[in-house]
Amino acid sequence: MRKILMSVVALLCLAALSTYALWTTQRPAGHYLSDLRIELDGVDGAPSERGNLLGIQPELFPADYQSVERLRLKLAGYLQHAQDAGLVGSKTIVVLPEHIGTWLWAVGEKNEFYQVVQRRDAEQWLAASNPLRLLGGWAMAEGEDRFADAYLRMKAASMAEQYQQLFGGLARQFRVTLVAGSIILPKPSVVEGRLRTGNGALYNASVVFAPDGSVLGQPQLQHFTSHPTRRYVQPLGDAPFNVFDTPAGKLAVLIGTDSWHPASHAQLRQQDVQLLAVPASVLGRGRWSEPWRGFRIDATPSDAALLPGEVSEAQAWQRLVAESAPLASMTVFMGGHFWNQFYEGHSFARQRERFGQVGDGRGARLINLWL
């Protein structure tokens, strides 16, 4: 009798495990009507043969990342709107926001993952649906926030492939140079034209795609990480910035808070950079109008132009990026929200004494700077 009972229990456990294993492989696609509207909030200067910097501040939500194709259609809709407005040409440099690629870790999950309200609930669905991948990510994790590290690392290889497919394809479709925001990956590099991941720490990286869809140079890694990613993202530290040759001129990319540091701008001037793209993000409802909290790193630069609390978050971004003068620069922020995490920030462009920014309205925004 005991052997029979144990056999029944074993069979039930096996059936439960088999059912769970089957459940983890099922990814039914939910119905979602994405908002493709985008407002043209700022056009600075007059059309020029030198080209333009075009910033796209999207409004994105978890369901936009249910598939790469869904995200592609939304971003292509934004670019089509810009093209119809006469803002897309052979010398156009399109700038997308920080972490637009990082959220590719949300691709291909169950409907419940996208429908919950709290991010912690979404992470629980992610863990339940990907137990083996999460264990693999956990084993390789190096950051202080081991779970955040593991969640990103577990899908890193597919994220890199999707990132290049998506943004390289958009650059090729619209024949533009495209600064593809940023993506957090383990030790990213370009090998034989392909974006690859390696073993080691996570880095916040930006890749620039040429009008034919190919990758220009190597990924630009973030030099100075800050809250909230510094507990799992490694800063690059003291290293030269990449300079990308584009049809509009020599371009550099400063990811997020790299644009706050005087040393960054001094180095760009030494490298004869003409154009600057700043993919950026501000996380937290109301943060944009709150007092600036400072650099929030271990060692605040001795030549910092501002002290915490002197100005608002918005004013700090604008004044610190102004260090890039006389470069033509475009700073583009992420918009939308992911569960209970809200992105804020209003994109802005600057060229010498000229300065413009998008309005305070919600929704996707375009901002353009003629060179």
99: left (phi over 0), alpha (psi -120 to 50) or beta: left
Please indicate, yes or no, if residue 48 is contained in any of the structural domains: yes
Under DSSP, the state recorded for 291 is: B
Under DSSP, the state recorded for 29 is: P
> Residue 286, CB half-sphere, CA atoms under 13 Å: how many?
2
Q: What is the mean pLDDT of the chain?
A: 87
pLDDT at residue 33, rounded to an integer: 61
pLDDT at residue 360, rounded to an integer: 62
Integer angstrom CA distances of residue 69 from 169, 180, 206: 11, 16, 21
DSSP-derived pairing of the beta strands 249-253 and 275-280: parallel
Please indicate, yes or no, if residue 261 is contained in any of the structural domains: yes
User: What is the number of domains present in the chain?
Assistant: 1
Phi, psi of 120 (to 5 degrees): -60, -35
What the block records as the tokens of 241 is 């910035």
DSSP-derived pairing of the beta strands 177-179 and 92-95: parallel
Report H helices in the chain. 2-25, 68-84, 111-115, 119-129, 131-140, 146-153, 156-174, 262-270, 313-321
Please indicate, yes or no, if residue 18 is contained in any of the structural domains: no
* Coil/strand/helix, residue 117: coil
Under DSSP, the state recorded for 273 is: -
Confidence of residue 198 (pLDDT cuts 50, 70, 90): very high
Buried b (16+ CB within 10 A) or exposed e, 31-40: eeebeeebee
Distance from C-alpha of 275 to C-alpha of 46, rounded to nearest angstrom = 17
Q: Who contacts 144 (Cβ-Cβ below 8 Å, separation ≥6)?
A: 231, 232
Closest among 280, 285, 287 to 342, alpha carbons compared: 285
Residue type, 109: E
Distance from C-alpha of 147 to C-alpha of 227, rounded to nearest angstrom = 16
Distance from C-alpha of 205 to C-alpha of 6, rounded to nearest angstrom = 53
Check pLDDT > 70 for residue 170: yes
What is the mean predicted confidence (pLDDT) over 117-130? 90
Match 């490298």 to its residue by tokens. Answer: 271
What is the mean predicted confidence (pLDDT) over 129-148? 88
* Coil/strand/helix, residue 212: coil
Please indicate, yes or no, if residue 292 is contained in any of the structural domains: yes
- Over residues 286-310, the pLDDT tens digits come to 999 999 988 877 667 767 778 888 8
Residue type, 75: L
Please indicate, yes or no, if residue 217 is contained in any of the structural domains: yes
Please indicate, yes or no, if residue 19 is contained in any of the structural domains: no
Distance from C-alpha of 181 to C-alpha of 208, rounded to nearest angstrom = 9
pLDDT at residue 20, rounded to an integer: 40
Cα dihedral sign, 146-147-149-155:
positive
Please indicate, yes or no, if residue 210 is contained in any of the structural domains: yes
Looking at the DSSP assignment, which residues form a beta bridge with residue 231? none
Residue 69 near residue 38 (C-beta atoms within 8 A)? no
Chain centroid to CA 73: how far?
Answer: 17
What the block records as the tokens of 105 is 């870790």
Match 């530290």 to its residue by tokens. Answer: 237
CATH number, domain containing residue 51: 3.60.110.10
In the chain, pLDDT over 90 holds for what percent of residues? 61
Gyration radius from the chain CA atoms: 22
Chain centroid to CA 153: how far?
Answer: 16
Check pLDDT > 90 for residue 22: no
Distance from C-alpha of 165 to C-alpha of 180, rounded to nearest angstrom = 11
Angle at 252 between CA 316 and CA 180, to 5 degrees: 90
More confident residue, 352 or 314: 314
Please indicate, yes or no, if residue 5 is contained in any of the structural domains: no
Q: What is the pTM of this model?
A: 0.90
Domain span holding position 248? 28-370
More confident residue, 262 or 355: 262
In the chain, pLDDT over 70 holds for what percent of residues? 85
Check pLDDT > 60 for residue 8: no
